[in-house]
Amino acid sequence: MVLPEVSPKSELRAHIRSVRRALPATVRAGADRALAVAAADLVRRAGARNVSAYVPLDLEPGGPDLVPALAAVAERLLLPVLLDDNDLDWAVYDDTFTTGRFGLREPAGPRLGPDAIGSAELVLLPGLAVAEDGTRLGQGGGSYDRVLHRVQAPAIVLLYPGELVPKIPAEPHDQRVCGALLGYDTAHVHWTKGCPIPHHWHSEYQSANDGG
């Protein structure tokens, strides 16, 4: 029997998922709390009123604290709604959820359309890894590659330590992100070469654009 060839991307996905599953629950919970606090602080520092984020699944950074933390500092928080073609619609979070495809928790408010993401001033999104050049490794469904085509604002992926990597095999459809928010007990932003670092953050955050 000939086994199917496994791509480098699939191998990296499997490795990161395995590492995340092996994290003790207490360690992951502490990391999620730190990431939620740091994400809210990032919104404040950016002066972003319209923010888009996500509802973390099991093993996705941010945990249950992420959405409440962001809702407390953003005037308007957009959360995703999974469509039948795996594209994402958006709705404003109003403290209520409904159940969507595959049992996903989704905002209960009116759907605004896939292009609503273009109004966000800061985009926080999930991922499995980010490379120094801004290439993002997602779960493989392609939803956020479509989303990032519509994004005008800095896009930052929440990650656990060890998930910022030197290189990720890129494909033509892959969209680059501006940075990664990483941390366990504390969290920090690492800017990639995916886009220019906003000028007012140059003195505060490490940037691949500066050779850091």
The residue ranking higher by pLDDT, 188 or 195, is: 188
Q: How far is CA 6 from CA 129, 130, 190, in A?
A: 18, 20, 30
* Alpha carbon distance 141, 195 (integer Å): 24
- What 3-state class would DSSP assign to 199? helix
Q: What residues have CB less than 8 Å from 20, skipping those under 6 apart?
A: 28, 59, 160
Please work out, in degrees rounded to the nearest 5, the angle formed at the alpha carbon of residue 147 by the alpha carbons of 50 and 86. 125
pLDDT exceeds 50 at position 207:
no
pLDDT digits over 124-170, tens only? 999 999 999 999 999 888 899 899 999 989 999 999 999 999 999 88
pLDDT digits over 1-26, tens only? 544 555 788 899 999 999 999 999 99
The whole-chain average pLDDT of the chain stands at 88
Mean pLDDT on 175-181: 91
pLDDT over 90 percentage in the chain = 69
* CA torsion, ordered 44, 137, 113, 70, to nearest 10 deg: -20
pLDDT over 70 percentage in the chain = 89
Residue of 121, 130, 113 lying closest to 167 (CA atoms) = 130
pLDDT digits over 100-117, tens only? 898 899 999 999 999 999
pLDDT exceeds 90 at position 183:
no
Beta bridge partners of 76: 50
Residue with token string 């998922």: 17
Q: What structural domains does the chain harbor?
A: 26-161+170-210 (3.40.50.10420)
162 within 8 A of 18, measured Cβ to Cβ: no
Q: So what's the pLDDT on residue 206?
A: 47
Query: What's the whole-model pTM score?
Result: 0.89
Our measurement of the distance from residue 88's CA atom to the centroid of its chain's CA atoms, rounded to an integer in Å, reads 14
Mean pLDDT on 27-43: 94
Residue of 191, 168, 190 lying closest to 16 (CA atoms) = 168
Q: So what's the pLDDT on residue 194?
A: 79
Q: How far is CA 62 from CA 30, 38, 81, 103, 119, in A?
A: 10, 10, 18, 19, 23
Residue type, 207: S
